[in-house]
Structure 1
C-alpha cells in the first residue's frame, strides 16, 4: 500500500488513528477498520452523553449496576504512539437500576490530585467489594512516568474513594481487572503492551529505553497479561505475579506475530458453567477475543473472537451477569468521532450451548 493511499484511508476512518491507551495503526488495521464506514448504524447507543467515558468496568452491587469507566477529556496533547493524548485526570462513577434504565452520574469519585504518588494519566479502572468495603483499582503513571496500579477505598460504591499512599507493591502496567471466585479468593489480571509499558518489564525490572511496542521477537511467545492473587484485605498481592498462559488448541503459546489472537490489553475474567473465560483486546487488529480455562491461572485455550471492531482505535470491555442474562459493556467514538473522546455502551452477550460466545457486530447493516 503506497503512502498516498494510506493517507486517504487514514482520513476516511473516524477515530482510528491511534491506540486507546497507546498507539498507531498499521496497514492491516486500516483495511479492517474501514469496514466501520460500510455500516449504516450502531447496535447500541451511548448510555450517557454529558461526559465522555470509556473502558467500562461493570459490577452489580446491592442490586444496582455500577459502572467504573475512564473519564475522557479534551486535551491539547498531540496524538502519539505512547497515548499521551489520553490524559484523563479523574473518575466519575455511573449507576443504573437496570439495563437501558436511567443513568446517574455520581460525579468525581477520585481525582489525580488525591493520589500522593501519581504523575499523570488515570487510565482504565476496576472495582471490587469485600468485607464491607469497596475497592477502586486504577493505573496511573507515577512521577517518573512509569505506570503502576493503585487502590482506593470507600464505604459507598459510588465513592468518594480515598487512595492508599503508595501503589500496590509489585504492580506495573495498566488495566487492572479484579475477579472474585466462588470460593471467595480474588485475583487481579492486568497489563497492556505498547503505551501500557508491559514490554518494558520483560526482564522483571522497568527498562525506560525498552521497546515501544512489544517484545519485537515475532516468532517467540507473545508477551502475556499478568495475574496475581490479592491479599485478604484486597490492598496487596498475596504471592508472586504470574503470566496468564494463552495457548492454542495444540497447547502451544500464541506468538508475537499473531496480532489477530495475541493479548494486547484490556483483560477481563468471568466464569460460566464452571469454566474461566479470559477475554481481552487484540489492540492493533481491534478484536475482542477469548480463551477458556479450568483454573484462574490458566492455561487458557484460545477459542476465537466474539466482538468485531468498534468505531475508533481502542476496544475495552467488561462482562456482567444480571438476572440470568449476560451483558457486555464497551465503548466506541460515536458521539465525538475522536479516538480519545469515547462513550460507553452495553449490549447482550450470549453463550452458546457448547460454551462458545456468539459473535457481536457493533454495527447494524
Structure 2
C-alpha cells in the first residue's frame, strides 16, 4: 500500500499519528538494510575485500611499483538499478590481505563530453605506457544513454590519483566494458563489447586512437560482456561473462584461447559459476607468482545492484586450461 492510500484510511489524528510513526520506522529499517552491512569489518579477512562502499567490475593490474591495483565501478545506495553509478575509486595491496583505498579518481561531472544528468559510469580499465597511466571508462554522451555510449580516457602520471579527462576514443560504436591489453612487444590492443558482440583492434602509440579497424572476435560462445585479456606461456586468454541462466542466477564466466591477441578464438569452457549476484564481471592477473580471479557478488547487501568486489586464487591444468574458481567468503580472524 502506498503513502497516498494510507492517508485515505482515516483523517483522525490518532490514526495519522500512528501511520506517520510506521512510515518513519519503515524508512529507518530500509536505510539500515542498505547501509549497515557495508560497514568495514576489521575483524575479518577475505571476501568481499572492500566493505565501506559498494563496488563492482574489478579491473586488476600489477604496476611498476610492484603493487597490485584494482579499478572497480561504484554502486551507490540505496539500490536503483545501474544508472546511479557515478564515480570511481582505486584500491591497492602488496600482500592480498591489506587493501588501501586511494580515494575517488573520477566522477561523471568531470567528464566534459558526458551526459548532463551524470550517472552511468560503468566497468572501467587501466593501462600503463611510456610513463603515463590511461584510465578507460564507458559513459554516455546524451540523455538517450543506451545508444550514446563512448569510451572515455583520463590520464595521470600516478596509478591512483591525478587523472584528468582527455576526451574519448573516436570512431567507436555505442558499446561498453573497455579492456586494454599491452603485449610483450609493447603493442596495445583495445577491446569492448555488449549485446552479444565483442570487438578488438590495435591502439596507436598515443593510446587514445584506434589503429586500423575494429573487428569482431570470432569463436566465443554465448558472449555477453566483460571482456578481459591476459597472456600465459605464449597463449592469449579472452575471458568474459555470458547470458546463461542457472536457477535464476546469471552470468557464468567463460573463456577462450588463441595464438593471436585478436583471434580467432577457441572456446574452452566455464571458469566460474554464477555468484549470488545477477551479474558478474571479472579480471585475471598474476601477482607474486600466483594467478588470481577478481569478480563481484552481492553478499554484503543481498541486492543485485549493491555489489562488492572479491578475489580468489586461480589455477591452471597442465594443458593450460583453467580450473573452476571456487568463491570463498570472509574468514573471521582470531
TM-score range, shorter-chain basis? 0.7 to 0.9
Label 1:44 to 1:301 Cα distance change in 2 as closer, same or farther (>3 A): farther
SS in 2 for 1:113: helix
More divergent stretch after superposition (301-310 vs 238-247) = 238-247
Q: 1:305 to 1:329 in 2, by over 3 A?
A: same
Match of residue 272, structure 1, among 208, 232, 236: 232
Q: CA, structure 1 residues 141+284, in 2 after alignment: closer, same or farther (shift >3 Å)? A: farther
Task: State how 1:156-171 maps to structure 2 within 5 Å.
Answer: 156-171=158-173
Pair 1:87 & 2:84 matched: yes
Q: Any conservation in 2 of the 1:177–1:267 contact (CA below 8 Å)? A: yes
Aligned residue for 1:319, secondary structure, equals: strand
Aligned to 2:121: 122
Give the whole-Å Cα distance in 2 for the aligned partners of 1:123 and 1:161.
17
| Counterpart contact for 2:293–2:325, Cα < 8 Å | no
TM-score (norm 1): 0.72
Distance 1:267 1:355, change over 3 A: same
Matched position secondary structure for 1:49:
coil
**1:10-32 CA distances to partner (integer Å, 9 max, x unpaired)?**
xxxxxxxxxxxxxxxxxxxxxxx
Taking the aligned partners of 2:83 and 2:46, their CA distance within structure 1 comes to 24
Count how many residue pairs are aligned between Structure 1 and Structure 2. Answer: 273
2:312 to 347, 354, 357: 347
Task: Report the TM-score when normalising by structure 2.
Answer: 0.78
Structure 1 segments unaligned to the other structure (5+ residues): 1-42, 80-84, 194-222, 248-260
Corresponding residue for 1:59?
Answer: 61
Aligned to 1:182: 184
Equivalent position SS for 1:312: coil
Q: Secondary structure at the match of 1:240?
A: strand
Q: Shift of residue 164 of structure 1? A: 1.4
What is the correspondence of 1:215-254 to structure 2 with a 5 Å cutoff?
A: 223-246=196-219
- 1:200-228 CA-to-partner distances (Å, cap 9, x unmatched) read xxxxxxxxxxxxxxxxxxxxxxx430102
Query: CA separation of 1:355/1:76 partners in 2, compared to 1, >3 Å: closer, same or farther?
Result: closer
Paired residues of 2:68 and 2:94 also in contact (CA < 8 A)? yes
1:73 aligns with 2:76: yes
CA contact (8 A) 1:91 1:108 kept: yes
Matches within 5 A, 1:111-150: 111-119=107-115, 120-143=119-142, 144-145=144-145, 146-150=148-152
Say which one has the larger Rg. Answer: 2
Q: Using CA pairs under 8 Å that are at least 6 residues apart, name the structure with larger relative contact order, 1 or 2.
A: 1
> Distance between the aligned counterparts of 2:161 and 2:280, measured in 1?
26
- What's the secondary structure of 1:109's corresponding residue? strand
Q: 2:293 aligns with which of 298, 303, 328?
A: 328
Alpha-carbon RMSD:
1.7
| Alpha-carbon distance between aligned partners in 1 of 2:67 and 2:173, rounded to the nearest angstrom | 30
- Cross-structure match for 2:102: 106
Could you say which residue in structure 2 is the equivalent of 1:18?
Answer: none
Q: Give structure 2 stretches of 5+ with no counterpart.
A: 1-44, 246-250, 330-334
